[in-house]
Structure 1
Amino acid sequence: MKAVIIEGYGGKEKLKEAEVPMPIAGTHQVIVKEKASSINPIDWKLREGYLQEMMPWEFPIILGWDVAGEITEIGSEVTDWKVGDRVFARPNTTPFGTYAEYTAVDDNLLAHIPENISFEEAAAAPLAGLTAWQALFDYGKLSAGEKVLIHAGAGGVGTYAIQLAKNKGAFVIATASEKNRDLLLSLGVDQFIDYKNEDFSEILTDVDVIFDTMGGEVLENSFKIVKPHTGRIVSVVADADKELIAKADVAFHNIWLDTNGKQLAELAELMEQGKVKSIIGATYPLSAKGIYDAHAMSETHHAVGKIVIKVGE
């Protein structure tokens, strides 16, 4: 089958097309014929070698950890899925990712794609949608009526976080550039902050939950406006200074995504109901050039919504 692989760490020029062996389904796995995948920052961070100590894999490596497609084969112990099912997933993080025509997925990580959702819309959602879900609810403990600040609201994770928080009944504040104001308001943002011309730390106070996808000064300044004693800050990019956490007397979590098919099924239900939608900023083909261009866009940190890879017809 065709895949886009890397045979060494480095820049985007390391991406190449190759013929690789078909995946083999384990007893509790299915084989998915891919219709779409999507790009996440972990993809190019791993390509550059930033994560090699955490994931000391042998080459060649197939990147990519989002998939939407149809089941073509099921393992001997699989009971809840059948050939032909339309499914999507955030598979386990392995060297055999989803920049390929077929991929193997553990059966407990799958969710059905609703009939009114396209493969591209489904492929955009797993990693980013689950990251937002777990940050807001598993760690942030966000509840109705609370104030939540979502940094980089126009990004892939941010667009899902806004919708999930709004659906929960929270008062949603988000930072983004002015050009994305209308998009974010349409997703349910109650208070928009243009980060280029406004300093959120001078505008806000007593925020219950802050979701950080930026790190650095943004994360540091978030401690100035989080609600003392009961506030929660969740980051997906960095640890915070222990003194800052102690001084603010708040809960802080630096999280890593936990693959979860049940949560993905709940997200699918919200998508089916029109309460959450995928914002797709760009689509590229499964080719070395397509992935190269997609990584280039993701690396700018200014992509709107998700970048999707279309696989095959």
Structure 2
Amino acid sequence: MIFRQLFDSVSGTYSYLMASRAGGEALIIDPVLEKVDRYCQLLRELNLRLVKAIDTHLHADHITGLGELRDRTQCVTVMGEQTRADVVSMRVSDGDKVNIEGIGLDVMYTPGHTDDSYSYLMGDRVFTGDTLLIRGTGRTDFQNGSARAQYDSIFNRLLKLPDETMVFPAHDYKGDTVSTIGEERRHNPRLQVRSIDEYVELMDNLKLPNPKLMDVVIPANMHVGLRQDDLAKQGLAMTPREAIARLGQPDILPVDLREAHERARHGTLAGALHAPYPDIADSLKPGGMLREVAAATGRRIVFFCAFGERSAMAVTAAKDAGLTNAVHIEGGIDAWKRAGGPVVAD
């Protein structure tokens, strides 16, 4: 496996790039905007294709690299379903799995630092964001943080993992790079409490100053969504109501770009073809499934996803591949449902 721990010295942020093999799919956790050039250089050097970019929570001390990486690599952006970010391509919840070729991350909802904090477990290691740090824990005094929720996340979720599980946090300010669950249980000073009330009292009396750029960073990180207006101006988009009116017509082929767990949870559209977004480039090549279906049937492809990001990128990819009759549903199945559109179980 390829695994790289990357550091931003300005914000003290760790980002993690991983792939199962050279030449394969990759994902990154907690990317920093100012380091995107470095990430892209490393992707080229290792011959990797970035498929997913994950933020463990809405960060307050640096601007995320999610949007820039999406624009440069057409990757899927991922955050928890509680996020206040305007649009991310995929929202996950506790018990989900984030998959790429050869790698699967188990999704753990671990609120407390913020109400949208998640950890990601991969075999012998866990990426804890700001929930559990090396010899520390994330502050709980803003962004709907809760010391009680964090105590539960740490003591009843993370510390239940095997002692040898490696801990990779989103931040460190002392130069430490990795710890283990067992080490943190024994030596983390904030975890040497006898009760939840003692932990709450400890966290409520830290009296830490706010991150220096918090007032700039949080609004920026809430607005990372891909603008879909240009596609509408080019006639390459349908509003949900337009799509509802057209659903079932013989000249329309709805194509669901979401992954299996999203379809199972939220349903899909009647008659939709399933073509997961990470495989879109191959599907649009000569001989690819979507290209062959479009050519054989003459039907107009109508892409849709969760919130419109993946489908917008798919329309652009189709146009670049020479398929000029593809459109997408603005706002995805989320907007479709809010407009009263019917869904069926997958």
Q: Highest Rg: 1 or 2?
A: 2
Q: Same fold, TM exceeding 0.5?
A: no
Please, what TM-score do these two structures have when normalized by structure 2? 0.27
Please, what TM-score do these two structures have when normalized by structure 1? 0.29
Asked which structure has the greater RCO (Cα within 8 Å, sep 6+), the reply is 1
